[in-house]
Structure 1
Amino acid sequence: MARILVTGSADGLGRATADVLLSQGHGVIVHARNADRAKTLTDLVDRGATLIVADLSRRQEVLDAAHELEDGTTVDAVIHNAGVYSGPDVIPVNIVAPYLLTALLRTPTRHVYLSSGMHRGGHIDLGRLDWDGNKPSGSYSDSKLLVTTLALGIARRWAPAVLANAVDPGWVPTKMGGAGATDDFDLGHRTQERLVTDQGLTVTGGYWFHGQQQQPHPSAQDPDVQDQLLDALAGATGIELPRR
């Protein structure tokens, strides 16, 4: 059985994903951004999940969490589920934190990054982004185009040692999606669960929606854009993506 980190697992899709993986017998690391949010995970911890607390909008807390995870039991896979919809934390949480966890955690052989169909309306303008989150500098759509590009860039750089994929969970009824969301909630988390557990599934560099691969925005598939993003993230954080 695998040991899997699910970021943003205090509620919504992240919690459902962690719950299912735990029920399947996997070792699960659940994550909350603060101690109050962590209280909602008590039942999963009682069932054997490991808890990590870190505010992903604060870079030092991301670094501390990565070091804590590296010092513990091997992490086999990461589902980068945590995300925010608006405000200055969009870029730090939705793209910088996934990059740092990818670069710093040396043992995972599978990474799944939560994207969105809204990524198709995003733009990549690296020069105007505030990577530190001191001010709003990118929309939710922009961030999801960036994280999709990150996923495909990681897949290209680290193949075949690491499998990296992006998943659009659909417009599902969560706190972020709202009660009026029309997509199936369960379908919204099954794909990422399969991508980190199915040993017969060896696809990398895919963009998935409800179990099927689709074509993402052309920019996400452009190796030059992928390299520009990875270089910008390395420059902004001071942490290079290691060779695998």
Structure 2
Amino acid sequence: MSTWLITGCSTGLGRALAEAVLARGDNAVVTARDVSSVQDLAAVHPETALALTLDVTERAQVEKAVRRTEERFGSIDVLVNNAGYGYRAAVEEGDDADVQRLFATNFFGAVALIKAVLPGMRARRSGAIVNISSIGARMTPAGSGYYAASKAALEGMTGSLRKELAPLGITAFSVEPGGFRTDFAGRSLTQSAEAIQDYAETAGKRRKENDTVHGTQPGDPAKAAQVIITAVQSPEPPALLLLGGDAIDTFRSVLDADRASLDAWAQLSAGTDIDEQQL
């Protein structure tokens, strides 16, 4: 029996993953800023579920959640950093305070949880850290620059973390979902108060009032949850796990475009090396 600590369990992928973990008999600490939204999970699984209030931007709450998990279940085997939200704005439109709050949740909140659970994982020489990113980090759509940046930061950190932890018997990997039928494009999506007309045909098309994606996404959160569990249990978890056919298609398109650009500029790029005769 493994113990999972999952952030952002009130809706969407986090809740689907919590339900799947509990259904298979594992322990799950299900967290949300409003604990009442996850109390039903603990009520159905009183022996294996613990519902906790957790705002990942509050260091005291992070430390308390880890401490209570270890007190209840003895250890944390899997940390899933799922808590996060979307923010849409042209780069020029973005409010500084909004952007700082975004990074406090999407990036620094995950870092705080990682730092809090790693001492126990290192002592046991085992564990898994799963950081939920987004295909948006790769496709960088207009109007999502700050969100994409927060997830790209999370992925960059995870890549280094994975290398640091591998010799210690601990794994870490990123998950890039495509579009899933969750609240991400609805209740969980925020945007800048200011809209600049010059960006109406780029970032403006992705503002909430113009976006018709919500409720039509192709991804099934319950199926995604099962794939994440499979990856965690794998003897060789991937460095990056894509979820959804749309994520795979997007990833390949970005790779192809990057390769074409690399090849087009390769000669000039390589020309910046010091000439051998100067060495």
Of 113, 137, 147 in structure 2, the residue corresponding to residue 119 of structure 1 is 137
Question: Pairwise mapping of residues 53-202 of structure 1 onto structure 2 (< 5 A)?
Answer: 53-72=53-72, 73-86=74-87, 87=98, 88-105=100-117, 106-108=119-121, 109-121=127-139, 139-160=146-167, 161-177=169-185, 178-196=214-232, 198=233, 200-202=234-236
- Per the TM alignment, residue 15 of structure 1 is displaced from its structure 2 partner at its CA by 0.8
Residues 90 and 140 in structure 1, CA contact (< 8 A), matched pair in contact too: yes
Q: How high is the TM-score relative to the length of structure 2?
A: 0.63
2:92 — aligned with what? none
- Name 1:209's counterpart in structure 2: 242
64-73 or 87-96: bigger deviation? 64-73
State the shift of 1:47 in Å: 6.2
Q: Please give the secondary structure, in 2, of the residue aligned with 1:107.
A: helix
Q: Distance in 2 between matches of 1:71 and 1:49?
A: 13
Alpha-carbon distance between aligned partners in 2 of 1:180 and 1:211, rounded to the nearest angstrom = 14
Contact 1:191 1:209 in 2 (8 A): no
Question: Relative to 1, partners in 2 of residues 1:47 and 1:71: Cα closer, same or farther, differing over 3 Å?
Answer: closer
Gaps of 5+ in 1: 123-137, 219-244
Distance (Å, rounded) in 2 between the aligned partners of 1:93 and 1:7: 11
Secondary structure at the residue paired with 2:120?
Answer: coil
Shift of residue 42 of structure 1? 4.6
User: CA 1:44 to 1:89, structure 2 compared with 1: closer, same or farther past 3 Å?
Assistant: farther
Aligned pairs, how many? 201
Shift of 1:191: 2.5
Query: What residue identity is the alignment partner of 2:115?
Result: A
Give unmatched runs, 5+ long, in structure 2. 88-97, 122-126, 186-213, 256-279
Given that residues 3 and 75 in structure 1 are in contact (C-alpha distance below 8 angstroms), is that contact kept between their aligned partners in structure 2?
A: yes
Q: Deviations over 1:148-190 (max 9, x none)?
A: 1121111011113211011112210101142121233333322
> Cα distance 1:46–1:69, how it changes in 2: closer, same or farther (>3 A)?
closer
CA distance in 1, matches of 2:228, 2:129: 9
Which structure features the higher share of helix residues? Answer: 2
Contact 1:38–1:53 (Cα < 8 Å) also in 2: no
CA deviation after TM superposition for structure 1 residue 51, in Å: 1.5
The separation in 2 between residues aligned to 1:76 and 1:98, in whole angstroms, is: 16
- 1:237 maps to none
Whether the 8 Å contact between 2:158 and 2:172 is mirrored in structure 1 is yes
- Over 3 Å counting, the alpha-carbon distance change for 1:65 and 1:103 in structure 2 is same
The 1:140/1:211 distance shift into structure 2, 3 A limit, reads closer
**Distance in 1, Cα, partners of 2:38 & 2:25:** 22
Change (3 A) 1:211 1:193: farther
2:133 and 2:79 mapped to 1: Cα distance? 14
Tell whether the 8 Å contact from 1:191 to 1:211 is kept in structure 2 after alignment. no
TM-score (norm 1): 0.72
Query: Partners in 2 of 1:44 and 1:11 — Cα distance?
Result: 17
Within-5 A mapping of 1:12-91:
12-46=12-46, 48-72=48-72, 73-86=74-87, 87=98, 88-91=100-103
Say if 1:50 and 1:104 are closer, same or farther in 2 by CA, change over 3 A.
Answer: same
The higher radius of gyration belongs to: 2
RMSD: 2.9
Cα deviation digits, residues 83-140 of structure 1 (max 9, x gap)? 1113343111111111111112123410111011000145xxxxxxxxxxxxxxx711
**Which segment drifts farther, 78-87 or 41-50?**
41-50
